[in-house]
Amino acid sequence: MNIYYQGTDITNYVTVRACTVRDTAGERCDSLDIEFENAAGWDKWAPAEDDMISVYHNGYDSGIMYVNTVIPKEGKYRIFATSLPCKARNKGYASFRNNTLEDIIRKCAVACGMDYALYGVNGAVVIPYIERITEGCAAFLARLLALEGAVLKCVNGKFTAIDILYAQDRDAMQELQATSDQADIEYSRNGLALRKVTISSPYAEASAYDAAVDESHNQLVISSCLPVLNSAQAGRWARGKLLWVNRKCESMIIRNTFNLGFTAMERIDVSSPLSVNGLWIIEEVEHDLINLKTTATMRRCIDTII
């Protein structure tokens, strides 16, 4: 394992007792939880908020993380870092009128001293009006992108918007076989999928449907709490909201030996006689780099939203 702190390789100066990296997309950012022994020796690095730290191990790269919390305890240092600098979490207000989606992401990135990237997201789409109210830039972008059918990842100091359908359409990173006696696979269903979502405001209204869901299932109507000013926007947000809700209805957790190929927003194809058979997208991965274990949480791919 190699550890870099503020660009310096400190591997030979520390003894790592625990190291867990969480790679996620959507509502949370990536994080690094690492524990060093010999706190006295570590003091000379004078750890401070937003210092950069990264870990490399067996071909795996955690990416740049920013120090959030440092806890000295009984001769050890526990450092918790995230892929977001603290400025990206600072709550504030901003309004955006007739900006493209890319412009909004770029402005938030500039405000946080970050860069940005789009994958499969139509950055040219115009958002008539939206506000960031008492939330950080990252939370605001995650909320907006969810309505657009996308997720936010933060990688190496960059706001990264990834369209969910784009991620689903990419080639599978791995193909897995699942049998009935595998204790390392946990499948769960969380509620019923929605048949229909309607976005309604005084200015526009549109609905989206999941063609794979029976017509007798629940419907959701979202009223004027969303600043929808035209039918095209209402239709996009209805489809995005329905996709976001229905993909949360099924989850699969896989616990395995260390697998660096498991990365958030990568597709995994599962072949099985069980209900887990089909195409999945990784939503969150936890890599324990000391015990060499990987736990991945996945969501079912959905391509039936119209």
Per-domain residue ranges for the chain? 2-83, 87-166, 174-300
Q: Which residue in 4, 17, 19 sits closest to 75, CA to CA?
A: 17
The helix or strand, by DSSP H or E, that contains position 12, with its residue range, turns out to be: none
In one letter, which amino acid is 273?
Answer: P
User: Half-sphere exposure (CA, 13 Å, Cβ side) for 175?
Assistant: 3
Q: What DSSP character marks residue 136?
A: -
Q: Which residue in 138, 153, 128, 152 sits closest to 237, CA to CA?
A: 128
pLDDT given at position 72: 82
Q: Is 4 exposed, middle or buried (0-12, 13-18, 19+ CB in 10 A)?
A: middle
Q: Is 278 exposed, middle or buried (0-12, 13-18, 19+ CB in 10 A)?
A: middle
pLDDT given at position 65: 97
Q: By the 8 A CB rule, do 134 and 123 touch?
A: no
pLDDT given at position 223: 62
Q: By the 8 A CB rule, do 62 and 56 touch?
A: yes
User: Would you call 74 helix, strand, or coil by DSSP?
Assistant: coil
The residue count for the chain: 306
CATH code assigned to 87-166: 3.55.50.30
pLDDT given at position 237: 95
pLDDT given at position 224: 58
User: Half-sphere exposure (CA, 13 Å, Cβ side) for 292?
Assistant: 5
β-bridge mates for residue 19, sequence order: 34
User: Would you call 191 helix, strand, or coil by DSSP?
Assistant: coil
pLDDT given at position 42: 65
Structure tokens at 10: 């400190």
Q: pLDDT tens for the chain, 306 residues: list them.
A: 999 999 999 888 888 999 999 999 977 899 999 998 876 666 667 788 999 999 999 899 999 999 999 888 777 889 999 999 999 989 999 999 999 999 999 999 999 999 999 999 999 999 999 999 999 999 999 999 999 999 999 999 999 999 999 999 999 999 988 876 676 889 998 878 899 999 988 899 999 999 999 887 777 777 657 789 999 999 999 999 999 999 999 999 999 999 998 999 999 999 988 889 999 999 999 999 999 999 999 999 999 999
Q: Which residue in 283, 279, 286, 280 sits closest to 260, CA to CA?
A: 286
